[in-house]
Chains A and B, each alone.
Chain A
């Protein structure tokens, strides 16, 4: 067992960073917590600060105002941290990639471990993505 898989062996705590998004991915992430999907049965918990999170969920296209803040949040995260780009905008910039405020997709700014495409991805897809990521490490 490597160091990374040792770190992610137990309950993962998630921190959610909503970039310049349309809000749908944010809602679907929140939806994962509610009775039908119930993320918390896996010991996962959405927390209020990156300083005690293991996974950074990033959704939405990143605009010029978000970019320095995303970098700062990534630097504050205790390492190792898993970064998951959620939604078409998180992966590539999606429909907003041609906008004048667009500052590059998430993987141009911070290293990304998993991409979950979809507009918005279904809560099942978000869960499946995180579970696959755990299997990989």
Chain B
């Protein structure tokens, strides 16, 4: 039997900006097994949400993840609106969609840049992040902050996008389109990028189904799923676009899917802007006085895949139970397949290829008493305990 070497990466390492610990078990240069440890980012958001009012929860859920800080409020708003049974105005739908798609553009630009950085292709990193800035400026103009936009509320959006701002948005969109051409050229025409990413970190269609991976990770392996089309919400039924898929399932296919999705996002926003011009200005919100008892679910397509929120209301001012599942939770599990059998140098890009987001993913897995070091609860017990509490609340209702 050959000896295996353990190579730890992290938890505070320059590869990814978030803390997480990877353990690569290597035989020579080949990765034989990979394990990872998270928890450095756990903040107990589901519990915090139960202490806050429905209006405050929006500010909390957008701080689950800084990069997809619209998809969480989006899903939360959808689930609360399902409890209330309210239909928001068309203008609010368009604005929600615009914000969601702008976020997809900036998130994908960020990933393309980081992917270039991991491959040692720093020109791509600098380009992608340079052309991400105009999108952030746009957010600053619309919402007043570069990240964490605080645009959503139950029954609509907090701020209108006035018609006089539309030309400025269109100008940035045309710039983004032009610069996406540049990035597509920089990725597709670069022989080194091809050599480093083709056939690396391959996930087959069966792997995706086994791990229940979602989003661009699934679409790059030929699994044609997209919440925006399969269960339309907001303004997506009102606009035309197509779901981008690729067959190969390697890192190159994932880059291709994300780059081409940016064109679709621009196309969606352009249609939403022309929709906005037809709607009355300022008509962005339906007043909601009371959240009745009941439960609602909402799912949206974040840049990384499907975000799912479950909200249980007991008729009071704050949610009785709030359950969140972020896309990275299932996507991260595919590391077991994509990294194993690669060389160590390819493992980094394979780890980064699913665009992992650990701050979305954090779960309480074991409860340990700090003083004695005894285990109070293991993962199975925590899950059954949580399920029993939710069942009790549901029966009470």
Bound state CA distance, A65 and B362, in angstroms?
12
Complex contact A18–B17 (CB within 8 A): yes
Complex contact A63–B40 (CB within 8 A): yes
Q: Which B residues are in CB contact (< 8 Å) with A16?
A: 12, 17
Q: Which A residues are in CB contact (< 8 Å) with B42?
A: 20, 63, 65, 101
With A65-B40, A73-B12, A120-B148 given, is the CB distance from A30 to B17 under 8 Å? yes
Question: Which of B27-35, B59-67, B382-390 binds A?
Answer: B59-67
A22 proximal to B (CB < 8 A): yes
Which residue on chain B has the smallest CB distance to residue A24? B66
8 A Cβ contacts from A55-84 to B:
60-61, 63-66, 69, 73
Complex contact B359–A22 (CB within 8 A): yes
B241 proximal to A (CB < 8 A): no
Q: Which A residues are in CB contact (< 8 Å) with B43?
A: 20, 61, 63, 96, 99, 101-102
A119 proximal to B (CB < 8 A): yes
What number of B residues sit within 8 Å (CB to CB) of A?
Answer: 40
Complex contact A26–B17 (CB within 8 A): yes
Scoring A residues 22 to 48 as 1 if CB is less than 8 Å from chain B, else 0, what string do you get? 111111111100111000000000111
Complex contact B66–A27 (CB within 8 A): yes
What number of A residues sit within 8 Å (CB to CB) of B?
Answer: 41
Give the A-binding residues of B (Cβ under 8 A).
Answer: 11-14, 17-19, 39-45, 47-48, 51, 59-60, 63-67, 69, 110, 113, 125-126, 129-130, 133, 145-148, 357, 359, 362, 370
Complex contact B44–A23 (CB within 8 A): no
User: From residue A99, how far is it (CB to closest CB) to chain B in Å?
Assistant: 4
Bound state CA distance, A120 and B69, in angstroms?
12
Which residue on chain B has the smallest CB distance to residue A123? B146
Contact of B60 among A28, A95, A100 (CB under 8 A): A95
Q: Which B residues are in CB contact (< 8 Å) with A36?
A: 130, 133
Complex contact B59–A95 (CB within 8 A): yes
Bound state CA distance, A17 and B43, in angstroms?
16
Bound state CA distance, A42 and B146, in angstroms?
24
Bound state CA distance, A121 and B133, in angstroms?
15
Q: Which A residues are in CB contact (< 8 Å) with B370?
A: 64
New A-B pairs, 14, CB < 8 Å, besides A18-B18, A24-B66, A64-B370: A22-B63, A22-B66, A26-B18, A27-B67, A28-B146, A60-B41, A61-B43, A65-B39, A69-B11, A95-B63, A98-B48, A99-B47, A119-B148, A120-B147
Complex contact B357–A23 (CB within 8 A): yes
User: From residue A103, how far is it (CB to closest CB) to chain B in Å?
Assistant: 11
A137 proximal to B (CB < 8 A): no
Which of A20, A46, A94, A122 is most buried by chain B, counting CB atoms within 10 A of its CB? A20
